[in-house]
Amino acid sequence: MQPGELIASDHGARALRADDLSHAWTVLEQVMDPEVPVVSVVDLGIVRDLHWQAGHLHLVVTPTYSGCPATEVIEGDIRQALEQAGFAAPCLERRLTPAWSTDWITEQGRERLRAYGIAPPVGSASKRSLLGESPQVLCPVCASSHTELLSQFGSTACKALYRCRECLEPFDYFKCI
């Protein structure tokens, strides 16, 4: 669609504005992950594409993993936020390939995780799987590298439980996948 073409809205058709996609991205930056409410769906990189299709906003969303229990909640939150912002009947497409990777988390998202007390993923998931290296996980509380893995399973399936040997605080590490 080009600016000036008509798109559907709750109040009939209106002209597509040049800043509509930018506005949609701004709205999506406010949709938080229900399991980690300090990172948005944009921070996580799960919104893969955003464009106009047949007069409606069309989004491609890739969940953090195919069995994520929050997927339907996230999609509902996205739809509700966009509709409240004036985008009528946004179309969400769930795409599982390529699989989501922690490589898609933005730098802002990594900082927000750290500030919340979750160690962000270290390095690149694709490179780690090829090299078989273990991550050097820093404590999100004191930034010490003297940490230890307590359990491969943390508060959610995408996190592992670590403890800092310096400040003795336990913390989640967002696994590099």
Tell me the C-alpha to C-alpha distance, in Å, between residue 98 and each of 47, 63, 94, 176: 13, 11, 11, 16
- Report helix, strand or coil for 131: helix
Residue located via tokens 């800092």: 164
Question: What average pLDDT does this structure show over 158-169?
Answer: 94
- Report helix, strand or coil for 11: coil
Name 118's Cβ contacts closer than 8 Å, sequence gap at least 6: 36, 140, 159, 171, 172, 173, 174
**Mean pLDDT, all residues of the chain:** 86
* Domains annotated on the chain, with CATH: 6-94 (3.30.300.130), 105-174 (no CATH)
The dihedral built from the CA positions of residue 104, 99, 174 and 138, taken in this order, carries a sign that is: negative
Contact (CB, 8 A) for 133 and 125: no
Pair of tokens at residue 107: 């730098």
**Among candidate residues 131, 125, 144, the one with its CA nearest the CA of residue 163:** 144
User: pLDDT of 46-104, one tens digit each?
Assistant: 999 999 888 889 999 999 888 888 899 999 999 999 999 999 999 999 999 999 999 99
- pTM for the full predicted model: 0.81
